[in-house]
Each structure stands twice: as C-alpha cells, then as structure tokens.
Amino acid sequence: MKPNILLITTDQQRYDTIRALGNECIRTPHLDYLVRDGITFTSAYSDCPMCIPARWTIMNGQRAATYNHAYYEDRVPMAVDASKSLPGILSAVGYQTQAIGKMHFWPSRARYGFDNMKILQDYYRMMAKHPEYGTPMNHGLGQNEIYPIKSTTDETHSITAWTVDESINFLETRDEDCPFFLWTSFSKPHPPLDPPEPYYSMYKGKPIPKAAKGNWLEKLQDNTGHIWDNRSHKFDFITDDVRDDALRAYYGLITQIDFNLGKLFARLNEMELWNDTIIIFTSDHGEMLGDHGGFGKGNFFEGSAHIPFIIKPPVNMSKEFLGKRYNIPVTLADILPTVLEIAGISLQENDIKTDGANIFDLLEKKEKRKYIIGEWSAGNPRHFITNGRYKYLYHLNGGVELFFDLQEDPNETVDLSENVEYKDEFNRLKSELVQRLKSVKHKDIESDGTLAKRKLQPISEYAMGKTAAMFTTNYDCDVLH
C-alpha cells in the first residue's frame, strides 16, 4: 500500500520556536522528537508570508506570484482546479483525503479536492451548542491584536485540542483499506494570544529572547506598508513589557500545540500507522513579535518569512538523511511535488505544473537549487531572494535595499548592502532576482531593466487607512487573516 501522509501546519509560527533548533526558552518535546528522528530544513521560507496565499501554494504547488495572488485578498475563490490540487490528485489515485482545522478557503465550505473537511466554523458551531464549555474569544481581543490574555475556554475545549481530537477521530473511523492524506491545520499561535491554563502561566517570569533591532531602521522609517503596524493592527503602540508578555503567551500556544501533537503521535503509534506515515510539519508564515519594532507578517524579515520545515519519512526510505539538518533553501511550493512523488505520482506524466521540487531530489542532488525568491505586491511591493546564507530585500517604496549575512547575523541587525566586503555576494543575489523578474516580464522591472522605484507616502496615511480592518467578528475565523 502507498504510504500515509500527515501534513501538520501551524499558523504564524516562527522558525526560532523549537527547542531542538536552538531556542532553550521554549518547551517543545514532540517537535524536538521530529527534529531528532526526521529531516530538518533550516532555510525554509514562505514566498508570500500571509495566510491565504501560503495555503494556496500548499494546495497547488505554485508560488503566490505565479497565480497573481502575492498579496492578501479575502473572499476570493481559490486559484486552483480541484482535480489538480494536492488532495484532488491524491483522491484520484485512491487516497482518502481529510482536512481538519484552519483551511481559510473561499467559499469556506469549498473542498477543492478534499473528500471531507472539518473546519473552524464546525468548532464554533459545536461550542455554541455547549455553553457550559465556555465562549471562545470572549475576551474582547480581535484576530490580530498582540496583547496577551488567558483563554475563555479550558484546554479540553480549546480550538487546538479540538483540531487534534478531530484528527484522531478521522484516524479511528477512516477506511483502512486505502491510504490517507490528512491535513491537520492548527489556527494557532495566530493572535489573539490567548492560551488556556496551564500554558498561559507556563512562561510567566521566565527568561525570553529580547526583540531584535536593526541598524537599518532609519532607512525604512517612512516606508509605507512595511512592518510598523503597532498602531494600525494593535490600536496602540506596544510597550516592552507587553511585548515580552505577548511572547510568553505565544510560546504557551506553541507548547499547547506540541503537547496535543503528543496525543496524535501516540495514537498513530498505537494504531500501527507511525512507521508507514510520512509526516510534514511546517507553518504558513511567522510573526515579527516586536523584532525591529514591528508585529504581524507580510514582510520578508526572518520573524515573518522564515518558517519551520521538518519531514519524518516512512521507515522504509531515506534513512541516511534522518536526524540531520540541511541549509538547502526550501519553500511551501515543495510540499506538493514531494508528497506526490512519495505517493508514486509522476508530475510529468500527469502534466502537473509546480514551482516546487521534490525535496528528496534536492537532498540526493538529483536537482539543484541555488536560491528561492518571494514577493508581496500590495501596499508597498517588495521582493526577496536568499540562497540560505545571504538575503537580499528590495522595497519599491523609496527603492530601499537591504542585505544580510544570515550565518553571522541571524537576527538581521546589520545591513550589509553598502559594505564593500560583501559587494560580490550582494550583486550576485540582486542580479539573480532581477534576471528572474525579467524572465517573466514582471511589472516591477523598468524598461531599462532596473528594479522599479516608487515615491514614499506618509506612514500616517497608511495607518489610518488600515485601522478599520481590526473590527471583525470573532466567529468568522475561517475567513480572517
């Protein structure tokens, strides 16, 4: 039988939030186990770090820019043919496909190739029928506010526990005569940062990393549509003590996910499915959490775009890679070709077009990748390119360039764009990006072959235009970013 496939995604989880990958302030025993026994990619990036575009990329294996959706746009049908989607292709060859948790599709009940889905609205419908369980998000904080608060439901009835319970229910009631593709999609640690006990108190008073602060901030202080959403998305400028407590609550949400994954992994093992199941763990994008004075996502700094990416293969393959870490640049578009190839589905024979690569081909050097690129096209259009060590960023508003050596400066505190010692690396990456954009006749390339440049706008005008977006209903979570 073909291998089972379990795709686990979190929402808004930074790369640097797993203990085994260097964060000694957080508790993630089950993710640590995946790191030790799986294959970890230390240079994984979301090419358009926003909820909807990232999920579309997972479903169709194409970068957001490829299908002209490199920005956030709500309530738009997904740009993917259900028969060509990841679950649709797998269903056609005999997989039972199930989605559980945050899908963020529109229309929200559209299955796009899945046999069945249990989405966030189902959780809220269930909770509404049981007022004795508590009222989710009854604390007054909205979907993008960064202030920490304790959950208004207990852990047993939290959305995280529900996501795992429903995943286990699927495993226990599925058709055992066919392989399965299960997408377990957590809606956390996306704000509101409201973990239940014991996770709310778990990190109180504990040491945590301080926010990074770049020496390049003045270059972007008037750059509209950038990361300074303190006022526009949070109603207030965040003080250092609130930021630190927010990070502690954020860690609590991640530990809650991790502990619940322990239940899911245990059930897989009890049902003798563990050895025959490939597990892929990643996130749609990260969260700035005060780094360089910003919050949220939608930019290409490490906090926003750098994501965890771990694969545990079935026991009968790729043992030489297990427990190792690789700096090969990978992205969410790689999930579709990797899963399909493992399932024995040829991309060429089935005319499946993807911007990604089978990750095992990259590991085995059957295919080479020099870099990955990303694009955000709304507000302040911006581009990035990285080869895993160096990163070049370009912002059209003001024509601002930034360049970082991620090996020496993983927090991106020192801009090297004008450092003569890095001139060759800077020019090489910039040239690669320009050539790629030229090859697709991108609108951000001028007629003379240079990157386009726009006039700056006052940031206050941008902030005032965005504030109203915060007033959203708590129960429409599956169509919120």
215-230: pLDDT as tens digits: 998 887 665 445 454 4
Q: Are 297 and 304 in contact (CB under 8 A)?
A: yes
For residue 428, is it within any domain?
no
Question: Considering only CA atoms, which of 229, 237, 243 is closest in space to residue 193?
Answer: 243
104 carries an active-site annotation: yes
Residue 237 has pLDDT above 80, yes or no: no
178 carries an active-site annotation: no
What is d(CA 44, CA 48) in angstroms, rounded to the nearest whole number?
Answer: 12
For residue 433, is it within any domain?
no
Percent of the chain predicted with pLDDT > 70: 89
Cis peptide before 410 (omega within 30 of 0): no
Number of residues that make up the chain: 481
- Per-residue pLDDT of 431-478, as tens digits, reads 999 999 999 999 999 999 999 998 766 544 434 333 333 333 333 333
- Domain containing 323: what range? 4-372+458-479
What is d(CA 251, CA 240) in angstroms, rounded to the nearest whole number?
Answer: 17
- Per-residue pLDDT of 183-217, as tens digits, reads 999 999 999 999 999 999 999 999 999 999 999 98
What is d(CA 231, CA 295) in angstroms, rounded to the nearest whole number?
Answer: 10
Residue 75: predicted pLDDT? 62
C-alpha count within 13 angstroms, C-beta hemisphere, residue 295: 27
Helices (H) and strands (E) in the chain, counts: 12, 14
Residue 243 has pLDDT above 80, yes or no: yes
Residue 35: predicted pLDDT? 97
For residue 298, is it within any domain?
yes
For residue 336, is it within any domain?
yes
- Per-residue pLDDT of 139-162, as tens digits, reads 999 888 889 999 999 999 999 999
For residue 65, is it within any domain?
yes
For 62, residues 6+ apart whose C-beta sits below 8 A from its C-beta are: 56, 333, 353, 354, 355, 356
Q: Are 47 and 332 in contact (CB under 8 A)?
A: yes
For residue 411, is it within any domain?
no
Q: Are 210 and 36 in contact (CB under 8 A)?
A: no
Main-chain phi, psi angles of 7, to 5 degrees? -100, 120
SS3 277: strand
**What value does the mean pLDDT take over residues 232-251?**
81
For residue 303, what pLDDT band results from cuts at 50, 70 and 90?
A: very high
Residue 239: predicted pLDDT? 85
Q: Are 45 and 386 in contact (CB under 8 A)?
A: yes
For residue 263, what pLDDT band results from cuts at 50, 70 and 90?
A: very high
**Angle between helix 29-37 and helix 240-270 axes, rounded to 10 deg:** 60
Residue 66: predicted pLDDT? 87
Residue 81: predicted pLDDT? 83
Domain count, the chain: 1
For residue 213, is it within any domain?
yes
264, with CB counted inside 10 A (0-12, 13-18, 19+), is buried
Residue 71: predicted pLDDT? 65
For 376, residues 6+ apart whose C-beta sits below 8 A from its C-beta are: 48, 49, 50, 70, 71, 298, 299, 300, 382, 383
Q: Are 296 and 466 in contact (CB under 8 A)?
A: no
Instruction: Give 4 or 223, the one with higher predicted confidence.
Output: 4
Residue 103: CATH number of its domain: 3.40.720.10
Q: Are 188 and 160 in contact (CB under 8 A)?
A: yes
Residue 287 in tokens: 């969260």
**Kind and range of the H or E run holding 423:** helix 423-439
For residue 295, what pLDDT band results from cuts at 50, 70 and 90?
A: confident
Out of 51, 69, 233, 306, pick the active-site residue: 51
Percent of the chain predicted with pLDDT > 90: 76
For residue 236, what pLDDT band results from cuts at 50, 70 and 90?
A: low
Residue 72: predicted pLDDT? 59
DSSP-assigned states of every residue in 42-71: TTEE-SS-SHHHHHHHHHHS--TTTTT--S
What is d(CA 104, CA 122) in angstroms, rounded to the nearest whole number?
Answer: 13
Residue 202 in tokens: 């778990």
- Per-residue pLDDT of 314-331, as tens digits, reads 988 878 899 999 999 999
C-alpha count within 13 angstroms, C-beta hemisphere, residue 435: 7
Question: Considering only CA atoms, which of 184, 293, 202, 301 is closest in space to residue 251?
Answer: 202
Question: Considering only CA atoms, which of 287, 308, 321, 452 is closest in space to residue 375?
Answer: 452
pLDDT, mean over the chain? 89
DSSP 183: E
Strand partners, 383: 375, 394
- Per-residue pLDDT of 77-132, as tens digits, reads 666 788 899 999 999 999 999 999 999 988 889 899 999 999 999 999 999 999 99
- Per-residue pLDDT of 341-369, as tens digits, reads 999 999 988 889 999 999 999 999 988 99
Residue 479: predicted pLDDT? 32
Residue 100 in tokens: 């559980």
Residue 7 in tokens: 């795709």
Q: Are 339 and 61 in contact (CB under 8 A)?
A: no
Out of 104, 233, 292, 306, pick the active-site residue: 104
Residue 135 in tokens: 């009222």
Q: Are 47 and 384 in contact (CB under 8 A)?
A: no
**What value does the mean pLDDT take over residues 283-307?**
93
For residue 381, is it within any domain?
no
